[in-house]
């Protein structure tokens, strides 16, 4: 709790965060074979975004602890003369072309993919796969984190999970008036950045 909330307890109200973790594939077990090679792809922050972000370090730290030196990134996966082997972008929802290129041009076993969507993107999407993830009105902060490990050689999913986080500005029930009313206190809550990191941690805790 912030120092302001301690000094003015009737002014500030901490809004709780809710998390919902879902297994999208039946397996949660990594391949720990000493020769298994994993590529960590850049986190996709929206449908068409392909850029590095702070969450990749969190992903790399977790995967490296689990798998040791078997984890590579696009920046470290190079030929003997220093050329990047994968110059093309890899989307979370792998295209047929992506898979074929990975199979033909690399010796990788798995690619680790992640995607983060905001409540606004989820609610505006017409894709039916997001229908169950829609946010109701009054959302203050939230995100849906998707995590997937794809088996390149066998052309199928090894692990896939999602974690939805949300903080809502819900009306409070007033027993004196027997009705729901807007709370006049100032709401404090975890930032979307904090929610995303905690969502990743919940996903990591499920992976064996």
Instruction: Give residue-wise pLDDT tens across range 38-80.
Output: 998 877 654 333 344 567 778 888 888 888 878 888 888 898 8
CA distance 43 to 56: 6
In a domain, residue 8? The reply is no
Enclosing domain of residue 159: 15-206
In a domain, residue 3? The reply is no
Please write the tens of the pLDDT for every residue from 71-117. Answer: 888 888 898 898 888 887 788 899 999 999 999 999 999 999 998 99
In a domain, residue 151? The reply is yes
In a domain, residue 9? The reply is no
Number of domain units in the chain: 1
Q: Give me the pLDDT at residue 50, please.
A: 39
CA distance 66 to 55: 17
In a domain, residue 155? The reply is yes
In a domain, residue 101? The reply is yes
User: Within 10 A of 103 (CB to CB), how many other CB atoms are there?
Assistant: 12
In a domain, residue 112? The reply is yes
In a domain, residue 4? The reply is no
């Amino acid at each position: 709790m912030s120092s302001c909330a301690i000094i003015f307890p009737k002014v500030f109200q901490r809004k709780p965060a809710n998390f919902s973790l879902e297994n999208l594939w039946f397996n949660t077990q990594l391949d720990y074979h000493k020769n298994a090679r994993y590529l960590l792809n850049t986190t996709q922050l929206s449908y068409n975004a392909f850029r590095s972000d702070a969450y990749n370090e969190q992903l790399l730290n977790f995967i490296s602890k689990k798998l040791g030196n078997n984890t590579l990134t696009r920046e470290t996966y190079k030929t003997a003369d220093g050329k990047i082997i994968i110059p093309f972008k890899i989307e979370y929802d792998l295209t047929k072309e992506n898979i074929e290129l990975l199979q033909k041009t690399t010796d990788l076993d798995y690619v680790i993919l992640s995607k983060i969507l905001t409540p606004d993107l989820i609610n505006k999407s017409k894709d039916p796969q997001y229908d169950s993830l829609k946010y109701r009105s009054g959302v203050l902060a939230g995100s849906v984190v998707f995590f997937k490990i794809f088996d390149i050689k066998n052309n199928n999913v090894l692990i896939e999970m999602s974690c939805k986080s949300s903080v809502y500005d819900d009306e409070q029930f007033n027993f004196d008036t027997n009705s729901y009313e807007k709370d006049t206190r100032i709401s404090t809550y975890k930032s979307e950045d904090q929610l995303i990191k905690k969502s990743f941690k919940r996903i990591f805790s499920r992976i064996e």
